[in-house]
Structure 1
Amino acid sequence: MPSQPQLTGWGLPTVPQNAPMPQSAGPPRKFYTLQRVNGNGGNGKGDGIGGPHKHTLEESDKVKKNSVDRWLIKQEKDKRKEQGGDSSKKSYHKKATGNALATVKSHCKDDSLKLFGSCFCPFVQRAWISLEFKKIPYQYIEVDPYKKPQSLIEINPRGLVPALRHGPTWSTYESTVIMEYLEDLNTGPALLPPDAQTRATCRLWSDHINRHIIPGFYRLLQAQDTNDQVNHATELRNEIGKLVDAADPEGPFFLGRSMGFVDVQMAPWVLRLRRVLGPYRGWPEPEEGTRWATWVDAIEQHPSVKSTTSDDALYLDSYERYAENRPNTSQLANAVNSGRGLP
C-alpha cells in the first residue's frame, strides 16, 4: 500500500504518482486466410493425385474449429490478465465478506424477486440498500460481470449489474431505475417523500451525484499524474460541497432525520471515499463537527448500509485496478478515461 501524506480538513494528496510508460506498438500483425479443401487430392481438386492433406471435409472443419476455440480461450485468458488476473496483482473479489456475506446467506433461497449483483459494485449496493431498507423479500445472486453469464445477459443484454428479475419473465436494470421501481411497489418504508416538489428535488440531486460526483470519484482514482490528482480532488470536493449545502441544515440525512433516496444514491461512494480514495489518494477524513461529518457518520451507521457492506480489504483489493488505471478495468473506467459519461 502506498505511503500516505499528512492531511488536515479537506487536504489534497501530495504523494507523487508514476505516470504509466508509453507502450510500443509491437511487431506488425500477420493475417491468414483458411481454405476449405478435401483430402483426396494435392490441391483439393479430387483429381486422385495424392497430397499431404489427409482429412475429410468434416475432419478438416473439426480441426479448424478446435483451433479457433483455442484462440478464443487464449484471448479470454489474456483479457482476464489485463483486468487483474496477474497473480502478483490484486483483483476484484467474487464473494462478499463481513456483514454483506451474512446478508447474502440469509437471502440465498429462491424468491420471485432476484437481485443479480457483484459484491464490489457500488451501483449494486444502491439497489441492495433499498431492498434491505424496505425489507422486501428477495434472493441475492452473486455474478461475475466480467464473465457475463447467460442468466445475466437475459436480464441486461449489456451484461452489467445490478439487474433485477421480478416474476418469471419481467426484468429491469440500472441502479436508479431499480430504486424507482422498488418505490413504485409501495412496499415497506418510502425513500422518496410524498409531495411532488420535494420528490423532484431529490431526483435533481440524485442526477447531480450521477453526473458530477461519481465521475469525479473515478477521475481522481484513475489519475496517475500528481497534478491531475490535485485538480480532480478539488473538483470532487467542490461537487460534494454543493450537495452538502443543499441538504437539510440539521440532518443527519439529506432531508432530515430519516434516510431517503438521495442518501442511498450517495451511500456507496461515501463508503468508498474512506475505504478506497483514502488509502490510494490520501482523501481526508471529514472534519469533526461539520455537516459533512454528521452525514457520513449517519450513512455509515445505518443498518441497511452496514448489512450490505463487506470488510475494508474487499474494497481495497477490488479497486487497485482502478488506482493503477489498468487497461480494460471496466466499461466505466474506459468511459472516464475517454471523457464520456457513465456507461
Structure 2
Amino acid sequence: MSSIPDQNIFPHATGKAAETVAKHQEPQELIFHAGWFCPFVQRTWITLEERSIPYQYKEVNPYKKEKHFLDINPKGLVPAIEYQGKALYESLILCEFLEDAYPSYKPNLLPSDPYTRAYVRIWFINKSIVPATMRLIQAQEADKQKAALEELLKGLATFSEKIKGPYFLGDEFSLVDVAVAPWIVRDYIIRENRGFTRDAAGETWKRYAERLETRESVLKTQSDKEHYAEIYGRYLRDEAQSEAAKAIRAGRAIP
C-alpha cells in the first residue's frame, strides 16, 4: 500500500487508464478509492479489471484528502475500498477480498486447490522484488546502487526459477502475476537511471515480463509514461515523502 506522493503530480489518469476510469463512474456497491500513479493501487485495479467486477472509481486528491476518505483509511493510503458501506484497505488484502466477495466473477486468481492457493500466497507476498526495486530507485551513492541492483537481480533469479510457463503458475494468470506486474511496467525507470536490464535478470524473467506488460488488464490500468516522471524523479533524487519512501530510507518494511 502506498501513501500519496508529494506535490505537482498530474491530477488524474491518462491514456488507457483514463478510458478505464471513464467507464467506472456510475455508483456501485464497491467504491474503489485510488491514485492513478500508484503501483499498489494498480494491483487491485488489475484484479478488478481482470475479473470484470463492477466498481466505481474515485481518484483521491493528493493534498485535499477528504474527511470521508480518512475515515475509510486513517493512514491516508491508497488503495482503499468501500464495500456495502464498509471500508477495507491494503492492496493484496483487497485482491484476496475480491476473490471471496465475488466468487462467480471469472477468472478466479486464487486457485481452488488448498495447496496451490497457499503456494500462491507465499509468492505474491514476495519481499525481495518490491523492496529491492525501491532501494535501487532511491539509492544515491554508486556503491549502494550497485548493491541494490545485485539484490534485485538475485531476487528476480530466485523468482524466475519458480515460473512454470507464460505466467507464474503456467497457463493460469494468478495473484502472483498481479502482485509483480506494476513493477514490471515501471522497470523502465531503473533501466534508464540505474543500469538495470531484463537481460541481466535472465531469459525466463525477460519473457515473463514481456508477457505481463502486454496483458489487457495491465494495459487498461496504465497511464501515459510521461506523467510518472515527476513522481519517480523525486524517488530517484531520494526526496519523496511517501510512507513507502520513508520506510526504505529508514530501513523499515514498506507499509
TM-score tier after normalising by the smaller chain length: over 0.9
What's the offset of the Cα at 1:268?
0.4
The structure-2 alpha-carbon separation of the partners of 1:286 and 1:99, relative to structure 1 and needing over 3 Å to count, comes to farther
Question: Residues 43-58 of structure 1 correspond to what in structure 2 (within 5 A)?
Answer: none
Answering whether residue 58 of structure 2 is matched by residue 141 of structure 1, we say: yes
Answering whether residue 25 of structure 2 is matched by residue 105 of structure 1, we say: no
**Kept in 2: contact 1:145–1:161 (CA 8 A):** no
Q: Secondary structure at the match of 2:28?
A: coil
The structure-2 alpha-carbon separation of the partners of 1:296 and 1:133, relative to structure 1 and needing over 3 Å to count, comes to same
Partners of 2:128 and 2:115 in 1: CA distance: 22
Quick one: which of 100, 114, 128 aligns to 1:196?
114
Answering whether residue 5 of structure 2 is matched by residue 93 of structure 1, we say: no
What's the offset of the Cα at 1:154?
1.6
The structure-2 alpha-carbon separation of the partners of 1:92 and 1:241, relative to structure 1 and needing over 3 Å to count, comes to farther
Q: Secondary structure at the match of 1:172?
A: strand
Partners of 2:156 and 2:98 in 1: CA distance: 26
What's the offset of the Cα at 1:146?
4.5
Q: Secondary structure at the match of 1:110?
A: coil
The structure-2 alpha-carbon separation of the partners of 1:95 and 1:286, relative to structure 1 and needing over 3 Å to count, comes to farther
The structure-2 alpha-carbon separation of the partners of 1:187 and 1:318, relative to structure 1 and needing over 3 Å to count, comes to farther
Question: Residues 328-343 of structure 1 correspond to what in structure 2 (within 5 A)?
Answer: 329-343=241-255
Partners of 1:301 and 1:156 in 2: CA distance: 32
Quick one: which of 166, 172, 175 aligns to 1:252?
166
Partners of 1:199 and 1:92 in 2: CA distance: 38
The amino acid of 2:243's aligned partner reads: Q
TM-score normalised by the chain length of structure 2: 0.93
Structure 1 or 2, whichever has the larger Rg, is 1
Partners of 2:12 and 2:144 in 1: CA distance: 33
Q: Secondary structure at the match of 2:238?
A: coil
Question: Residues 53-64 of structure 1 correspond to what in structure 2 (within 5 A)?
Answer: none
What's the offset of the Cα at 1:215?
1.1
TM-score normalised by the chain length of structure 1: 0.70
Partners of 1:212 and 1:147 in 2: CA distance: 33
**Kept in 2: contact 1:113–1:138 (CA 8 A):** yes
Range 129-138 or range 293-302, more displaced: 293-302
Partners of 2:88 and 2:217 in 1: CA distance: 22
Tell me the alpha carbon deviations over residues 110-160 of structure 1, each in whole angstroms, 9 at most, x when there is no partner: 211110000110010000000000101101101134443212112111110
Answering whether residue 82 of structure 2 is matched by residue 180 of structure 1, we say: no
Partners of 2:201 and 2:86 in 1: CA distance: 47
**What residue number does 2:180 align with?**
266
Partners of 1:246 and 1:102 in 2: CA distance: 35
Q: Secondary structure at the match of 1:198?
A: helix
The structure whose RCO (Cα within 8 Å, separation 6+) is larger is: 2
Partners of 1:177 and 1:159 in 2: CA distance: 17
**What residue number does 1:290 align with?**
203
**What residue number does 1:156 align with?**
73
Q: Secondary structure at the match of 2:81?
A: strand
Answering whether residue 133 of structure 2 is matched by residue 217 of structure 1, we say: yes
Partners of 1:257 and 1:84 in 2: CA distance: 39
Tell me the alpha carbon deviations over residues 9-32 of structure 1, each in whole angstroms, 9 at most, x when there is no partner: xxxxxxxxxxxxxxxxxxxxxxxx
Question: Residues 52-91 of structure 1 correspond to what in structure 2 (within 5 A)?
Answer: 85=7, 91=8
Tell me the alpha carbon deviations over residues 148-182 of structure 1, each in whole angstroms, 9 at most, x when there is no partner: 32121121111100001011x21100001100100
Partners of 1:221 and 1:206 in 2: CA distance: 21
**Kept in 2: contact 1:155–1:165 (CA 8 A):** yes
Structure 1, unaligned runs of 5 or more: 1-79, 86-90
The amino acid of 1:150's aligned partner reads: K
**Kept in 2: contact 1:145–1:159 (CA 8 A):** no
Answering whether residue 214 of structure 2 is matched by residue 301 of structure 1, we say: yes
Partners of 2:182 and 2:168 in 1: CA distance: 15
Give the root-mean-square deviation of aligned CA atoms: 1.8
Partners of 2:11 and 2:199 in 1: CA distance: 30
Answering whether residue 205 of structure 2 is matched by residue 205 of structure 1, we say: no
The structure-2 alpha-carbon separation of the partners of 1:100 and 1:194, relative to structure 1 and needing over 3 Å to count, comes to same
**What residue number does 1:242 align with?**
158
The structure-2 alpha-carbon separation of the partners of 1:141 and 1:180, relative to structure 1 and needing over 3 Å to count, comes to same
Identity %: 39
What's the offset of the Cα at 1:199?
0.8
